[in-house]
């Protein structure tokens, strides 16, 4: 009757030299709150699915992280959010792409999984489901943060001058969680605002089941953060499961291989959190840092950045 | 210096008893034209990517098939098309979801792959890329077909009466192609109008790389057609590649396993066409029929329905 939970708040160019003690403490506190919300579900015997949605909802509500409130802006100054959930026993999944409105896009992804016959929805009809489900909807002011707006202006300025850095790690960020509940069921959830100054309509790996989000009780649950296009092309999350299933690798072997040997050399900066059916957790990344945390019925919560 | 090409025009409830000789002949002729267009590219030493796009474009132009002209209607009487391409040497991919406008959505998917840094685009920005690329755009009248409109009305009538058949095979259809060119490079392309009376904004497996479309020179290229939600949840196309890569199965073993042992018992009616790096082709399906065809440098074109 054990449980485990791991979360991430994005990976990328997190330079220790640019991090103030106050800012670092705020990130740790945000991660700790997200762990606490998910653990509360698991400790009470709740579902892994509900735990990962609880954790991700807290990260979405926190403007420090690029999802929900605090989502980055597209090149035309809009916010377009993607989210997905997957449950490992049934392999049911829900995903939404390109929405702005639901306070917690991850909860809309869960509603799509639970209330429709579909896996992935885009556009206004997805918002209709949020309304029918009674999910909180917010206006643009809620999602706006000055920091993200300034980041867009800076990126657009550099782009206009032809000086936009190639490093995609500069521009990404995603939040996610994986959990194993006391029944042994796995789940994964991921949510993102995408990349600063992304093309409107661009969809990354987050809502692509098998790429940014995946769960299967026989192998593992995975939530990714990174250069989404590369994670899609290399089928990142499901490939970890495949290596466990067919090559009989451990979770850590499989996840390390994908992050360091497959993604890193193919411009796939980023990382992921993953959990196997025994509750083992791994959180590999190939970028300078990844906001992350882990808690289990055996060990108290810990959060990390570098 | 050999090449191979396989195509499909959708799988589902194709009942021999309801098929007239004229209609059957028209399907065979449509498939043969698509094979011819792709083979012309391959025979001239062209790229697998361009061959699959050529074949799929012919199927999109043919109102008999559910893609491009002849796409089915959503529950609110609109047409929303999805398409994807993937190239096996670079594992570059392009996908578009929920568009109505480009005459050949598959060509827009290729443009997204070749002209942007992104893999997947949705909405109006995707159409901007079609315009920038000079792709042909059409209005609603071009895409309208009476048969699809009547199918929508019938489905909505049955739905209102609570008599809509559960069988998802009644409602799907997709076109696709896989090829190996004389260089040994693989590619896959898929295009669809989705399911009759689908929820607006619903995205199936077609544009989900790893689910409905996948290509990797080390293993295989795959294009699927069927109950998309199930193909997404089981990561259908990439799982065939994973079984070849890690469990050392042949293409046929891996594809048969996914179609008959994984998808069929999980409500995943449909089928796929797949090709390996030696040019072997397999076209398994678990539905009563699948429009399909194959041609290679060694064998003349053949088309099949049942």
Cα–Cα distance measured from residue B213 to residue B220, given in angstroms and rounded to the nearest whole number: 11
Chain A residues whose beta carbon lies within 8 Å of the beta carbon of residue B92: 233
Per-residue tokens: A148: 């993200």
DSSP-derived letter for residue A128 is: H
Q: How far is B246 from chain A (nearest CA, A)?
A: 5
Do A238 and B243 count as a contact with CB atoms less than 8 A apart? Answer: no
Q: Tell me the chain A residues in contact with residue B124 when contact means C-beta distances shorter than 8 Å.
A: 200-201
Q: How many residues does chain B have?
A: 306
Contact B109, B133 (CB under 8 A): no
Kindly report the number of other CB atoms within 10 A of residue A110's CB atom.
Answer: 29
How many whole angstroms separate alpha carbon B194 and alpha carbon A119?
13
Suggest the residue from A232, A240, A254, A265 to mutate for an interface test with chain B (most B CBs closer than 10 A). Answer: A232
A209/B199 CB distance under 8 A: no
Give the H/E segment covering residue A243.
Answer: helix A236-247
pTM of the full structure: 0.97
> Which one is catalytic: A174, A190, A206, A303?
A174
Residue-wise pLDDT tens for chain A (306 aa)? 899 999 999 987 676 777 889 989 999 999 999 999 999 999 999 999 999 999 999 999 999 999 999 999 999 999 999 999 999 999 999 999 999 999 999 999 999 999 999 999 998 889 999 999 999 999 999 999 998 999 899 999 999 998 877 665 566 689 999 999 999 999 999 999 988 888 999 999 999 999 999 999 999 999 999 999 999 999 999 999 999 999 999 999 999 999 999 999 999 999 999 999 999 999 999 998 999 999 999 999 999 998
Known catalytic residues of B are 174
d(CA A191, CA A68) in angstroms, rounded, equals 8
Distance between CA atoms of residues B206 and B213, nearest Å: 6
Half-sphere exposure in the Cβ direction for A242 (13 Å, CA): 26
Residue-wise pLDDT tens digits, B87-109: 999 999 999 999 999 999 999 99
What is the rounded distance in angstroms from the CA atom of residue B100 to the CA atom of residue B51? Answer: 23
What residues of B are in contact with residue A234 (Cβ under 8 Å)? 91
Q: Which two tokens stand for residue A44?
A: 């009470």
CA distance, residue B71 to nearest chain A CA (Å): 18
Concerning whether A174 is annotated as a catalytic residue, the answer is yes
Q: In angstroms, what CA-CA distances link B71 with A61, A117, B80, B148, B188?
A: 40, 21, 8, 7, 20
Cα–Cα distances (Å) from B161 to A37, A67, B152, B155, B200, in that order, read 44, 41, 14, 10, 21
| Confidence (pLDDT) at A167 | 65
d(CA B32, CA B40): 12
Partner-chain contact B201 A122, CB within 8 Å: yes
Q: Does residue A116 sit at the B interface (CB-CB below 8 Å)? A: yes
Among B212, B193, B211, which Cα is nearest to B202's?
Answer: B193
Question: Are B119 and A232 within 8 A, CB to CB?
Answer: yes
A220, A275 contact by CB (below 8 A):
yes
Q: Is B257 on the interface with A (CB under 8 A)?
A: no
- Report d(CA B96, CA A228) in Å as an integer: 15
All residues at 6 or more sequence positions from B174 whose CB lies less than 8 Å from its CB, including other chains: B8, B10, B66, B67, B190, B191, B192, B204, B206, B212, B224, B225, B226
Which residue in B55, B93, B82, B285 sits closest to B192, CA to CA? B82
Does B117 reach chain A within 8 Å, measured CB to CB? yes
Say yes or no for a CB contact (<8 Å) between B235 and A210: yes
**How buried is B247 (Cβ within 10 angstroms: 0-12 exposed, 13-18 middle, 19+ buried)?**
middle
Model pLDDT for residues B220-268, shown as the tens digit of each residue: 999 999 999 999 999 999 999 999 999 999 999 999 999 999 999 999 9
- C-alpha distance from A24 to closest chain B C-alpha (Å): 32
Helical spans, DSSP H, in chain B: 21-43, 48-61, 105-115, 124-132, 140-143, 146-160, 228-233, 236-247, 251-256
Which secondary-structure segment (H or E) carries A29? Answer: helix A21-43
- Cα dihedral value A252, B261, B290, A208, nearest 10: -20
- Residues of chain A with Cβ-Cβ distance to B116 below 8 Å are 199
The structure tokens listed for B175 are: 């076109």
If one counts every other C-beta atom within 10 angstroms of the C-beta of residue A86, the result is 33
Contact B98 A245 (CB under 8 A): no
Structural tokens at position A224: 């990714």
Instruction: Judge whether A41 and A113 are in contact, CB under 8 Å.
Output: no
Contacts of A81 in chain B (CB under 8 A): none
Q: What CA–CA distance (Å, rounded) separates B124 from B114?
A: 18
Distance from CA of A113 to the nearest CA of B (A): 10
SS3 content of chain A, % helix, strand, coil (to 5): 40, 25, 35
Compute the 3-state secondary structure of chain B and give helix, strand, coil in percent, each to the nearest 5: 40, 25, 35
Nearest CA to B58 among B39, B77, B72?
B39
Q: Are A255 and A264 in contact (CB under 8 A)?
A: no
- The CA radius of gyration of chain A, in Å to the nearest whole number, is 17
Positions in chain B whose pLDDT score sits under 70: 13, 15, 166-172
Cβ neighbours of B246 in A, within 8 Å? 242-243, 245-247
Distance from CA of A25 to the nearest CA of B (A): 34
The partner residue sitting opposite A238, judged by closest CB among B119, B235, B247, is B235
Residue pair A119/B233 in contact by the 8 Å Cβ criterion: yes
- Interface contact flag, B229 A118, Cβ < 8 Å: yes
CA closest to A129 among chain B residues: B199
In this structure, how many other beta carbons lie within 10 angstroms of the beta carbon of residue B67?
32
CA A132 to chain centre: 25
Distance from CA of A119 to the nearest CA of B (A): 6
**Residue contact B125–A202, C-beta within 8 A:** yes
What's the pLDDT score for residue B169?
Answer: 58
How many CB pairs lie under 8 A apart between chains A and B? Answer: 137
- Give the per-residue pLDDT at A169: 58
Dist. CA A59–CA B48, nearest whole Å: 44
Helix (H/G/I), strand (E/B), else coil: A77: coil
Distance (Å, whole) CA B68 – CA B82: 9
pLDDT, position B247: 97
Asked if A165 has any chain B CB less than 8 Å from its own CB, the reply is: no
Q: Report whether CATH 3.60.20.30 matches the domain B4-304.
A: yes
Is residue B174 within 8 A of residue B67, CB to CB? The reply is yes
Beta carbons of B201 and A235 less than 8 Å apart? no
φ/ψ (deg, to 5) at A6: -130, 145
**Do residues B120 and B157 lie in contact, with contact meaning Cβ atoms separated by under 8 Å?**
no
- Nearest-neighbour CA in chain B from A300: distance (Å): 33
> What are the boundaries of each domain within chain A?
4-304
> How many CB atoms sit inside 10 A of residue B163's CB?
8
CB pair distance less than 8 Å for A233 and B119:
yes
Q: Residue length, chain A?
A: 306
For chain B, say whether A229 makes contact (Cβ under 8 Å).
yes
A200 interaction partners in chain B (CB closer than 8 Å)? 123-125
């Amino acid at each position: 009757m054990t449980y485990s939970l791991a979360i991430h708040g994005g990976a990328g160019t997190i330079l220790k030299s640019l991090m103030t003690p106050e800012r670092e403490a705020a990130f740790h506190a945000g991660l700790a709150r997200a762990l606490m919300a998910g653990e509360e579900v698991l400790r009470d015997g709740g579902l892994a699915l509900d735990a990962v949605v609880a954790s991700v909802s807290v990260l979405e509500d926190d403007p420090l992280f690029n999802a929900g409130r605090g989502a980055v802006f597209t090149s035309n100054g809009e916010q377009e959010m993607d989210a997905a959930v997957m449950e490992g026993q049934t392999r049911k999944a829900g995903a939404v792409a390109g929405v702005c409105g639901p306070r917690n896009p991850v909860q809309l992804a869960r509603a799509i999984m639970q209330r429709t016959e579909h896996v992935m929805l885009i556009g206004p009809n997805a918002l209709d489901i949020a309304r029918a489900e009674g999910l909180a909807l917010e206006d643009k002011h809620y999602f706006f943060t000055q920091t993200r707006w300034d980041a867009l202006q800076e990126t657009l300025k550099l782009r206009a001058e032809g000086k936009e850095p190639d490093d995609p790690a500069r521009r990404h960020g995603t939040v996610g969680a994986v959990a194993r509940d006391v029944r042994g069921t796995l789940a994964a959830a991921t949510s993102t605002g995408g990349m600063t100054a992304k093309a409107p309509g661009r969809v990354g790996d987050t809502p692509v089941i098998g790429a940014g989000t995946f769960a299967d009780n026989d192998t593992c649950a995975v939530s990714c953060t990174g250069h989404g296009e590369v994670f899609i092309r290399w089928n990142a999350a499901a490939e970890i499961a495949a290596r466990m299933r067919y090559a009989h690798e451990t979770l850590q072997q499989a996840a390390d291989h994908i992050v360091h040997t497959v993604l890193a050399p193919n411009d796939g900066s980023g990382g992921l959190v993953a959990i196997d059916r025994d509750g083992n957790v791994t959180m590999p990344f190939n970028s300078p840092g990844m906001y992350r945390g882990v808690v289990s019925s055996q060990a108290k919560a810990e959060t990390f950045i570098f």
